[in-house]
Amino acid sequence: SLQLVWLRSDLRVHDNTALAAAAERGPVVVVVTPCYPQWRQHGHGANKLDFLRRGLHVLQQALAGYHIPLKVIDCDTFAEIPEVLAALCASLNVAALHFNDEYAINEQIRDAAVRRRLADLDIRLHHYTDMIAFAPGELLTGKGDYYGVFTPFSKRWHKDLVARRLKLAPAPGVQATPLDPHGQAIQGDAIPPLPHDLPVPVDASLWPAGEDAAQERLERFMTFRARRYHEQRDLPATRGTSELSAYLALGMISARQCYAAVLAENGSLSDGDVGLTAWVNELIWREFYQHILIGFPRVNRHRPFQRHTEALAWRDDDAGFDAWCEGRTGYPLVDAAMRQLTSTGWMHNRLRMVTAMFLTKHLLIDWRRGEAFFMEHLVDGELGANNGGWQWAASTGTDAAPYFRIFNPTTQGERFDKDAEFIASLVPELSSLPAKRRHQPSDEDRHACGYPRPIVDHKAARLRALDAFKALSKGN
Ligand code: FAD
């Protein structure tokens, strides 16, 4: 009997729990429900949507190799999905629907509505934990609460993993569905183009879509960078990280495949090579923030994790915000980073922290404005990690950076971009200056290079931020 697999942020054929489980039960049809207007409303911009659209084309071709048709239902809103899926199930005479869980609140509401609608039709529904190793709720503190701090979460993650190693075994391979010589061939559908009013995305060759491209990146990372990850991961001028985030966000690669690559090299996820285990730690951050979405639903609703920070007196400063967005704050590392984001759809992690802290502390602008701007530009934009990262930088989140620990953007540059190579590559106005002056151009340098003066003074801005945080009365 026909099994319908609904793919969402798991756009791959290999090691896909839902797809593998469905294929064991019978012939499979895959459906996707691109929902561009709704995704726009959730803040995703052209870079991510274009990557996704290209990923759907690659997926369709890959599925064709298994004789699996890809049905495509173009929707405007999530609210339409229960009905269109029900209609598809009825027209194909589907026995069961399978999908891998997603954890952001709107996706949860959507899936609950689908579950109710299919129950009316007596169609079985199977859902799976696939994006992360443990479903939210599986890892709780001794008191039965969700972890709100990363380190104990990660310890628990490792501990339980050892106990349940099997969890990380890749899903069995999918066999080609035999073509039914008597049955009606099920036609696949065309992938809808992006909405016309979307800005032009960044060069598609920066982000080749699909699982083959993702596997190539993983292999390159494991071969050339992984063992030096701990030394190089903070250096934006060096390609020291995996650059897999966009692929993980849309499931063109599974986290299990990443863990398996580490296990193959190192035999352990927690001991042994420092570079490899440092990388695993970042993958666990990704999992942690998915658990946070479920455990602390307010973070899905633009609310701070730390409730007492609700009252923080953020500044209205459109001119400052625009300067930040456009990379003309007069702080070379911040400007280089913002230009990296807008020109490539990605920003190095160290710089996400520096720029987010600059916006929320030096400019004292609400983290939600920065979060939205990142989401609009990131090819890897994902609610859990983006919200988590922003709230961390703003000292409103889990593991919140203590509010008095404010990065100095100039010394961050001197430390992590020693020769100011990264700055030179993205702020060409400054590239003719010697490295030291690229970090700290004099007034004359700025004038001669056509580069702006700092929009705020570091010391004064720091004190202003400290005052704003001190004014908050503590306690949740
Ligand atoms: P690697 O260093 O190779 O890490 C491997 C993978 O681990 C990443 O691909 C990613 O999936 C995960 N990861 C790494 N660091 C983190 C982290 N701090 N939190 C959660 N997951 C992590 N990551 C996103 O995937 N999407 C976002 O929208 C996003 N927004 C961010 C916003 C801010 C303000 C900050 C500080 C961080 C944000 N991150 C986000 C986390 C991190 O910056 C990126 O995942 C990382 O830079 C991606 O590069 P990479 O794939 O080379 O990472």
DSSP codes of every residue in 72-132: E---S-GGGHHHHHHHHHHHHT-SEEEEE---SHHHHHHHHHHHHHHHHTT-EEEEE--SS
Say whether 324 is catalytic.
Answer: no
With contact defined as beta carbons under 8 Å apart, do 84 and 5 qualify?
no
The CA distance from 66 to 22, in Å, is: 14
Q: Which of 314, 408, 414, 421 is catalytic?
A: 314
Q: In this predicted structure, what is the pLDDT of residue 400?
A: 65
Which residue among 132, 232, 349, 367 is best mutated to probe the pocket of ligand 1, counting the most ligand atoms within 8 A of its Cβ?
A: 349
Q: Which of 349, 408, 414, 421 is catalytic?
A: 349
What residues in the chain have per-residue pLDDT under 50? 475-476
Residues 359-398 have pLDDT tens digits of: 999 999 999 999 999 999 999 999 999 999 999 999 999 9
Closest residue by CA, ligand 1 atom 8: 245
Backbone torsions φ then ψ of 184, nearest 5 degrees = -75, 130
With contact defined as beta carbons under 8 Å apart, do 263 and 269 qualify?
yes
Q: In this predicted structure, what is the pLDDT of residue 473?
A: 66
* 186 Cα–ligand 1 center, Å: 39
- The tokens 């009825």 sit on which residue? 90
* 467 Cα–ligand 1 center, Å: 30
User: Which string of DSSP letters, residue by residue, matches 312-362?
Assistant: --PPP-HHHHHHHHHT-SS-HHHHHHHHHHHHHS---HHHHHHHHHIIIII
Say whether 408 is catalytic.
Answer: no
The CA distance from 414 to 465, in Å, is: 23
The CA distance from 276 to 270, in Å, is: 9
With contact defined as beta carbons under 8 Å apart, do 455 and 329 qualify?
yes
One-letter amino acid identity for 40?
R
The CA distance from 149 to 120, in Å, is: 41
| Strand, helix or coil for residue 146 | strand
Q: In this predicted structure, what is the pLDDT of residue 184?
A: 57
- What is the value of pTM for the model shown? 0.97
Say whether 282 is catalytic.
Answer: yes
Radius of gyration (C-alpha) of the chain in whole angstroms: 23
The annotated binding site for FAD is made up of 229, 241-245, 279, 282-289
Residues 190-236 have pLDDT tens digits of: 999 999 999 999 999 999 999 999 999 999 999 999 999 999 999 99
Q: Which domains does the chain have, with CATH numbers?
A: 3-131 (3.40.50.620), 132-168+211-295 (1.25.40.80), 307-470 (1.10.579.10)
Q: In this predicted structure, what is the pLDDT of residue 107?
A: 98
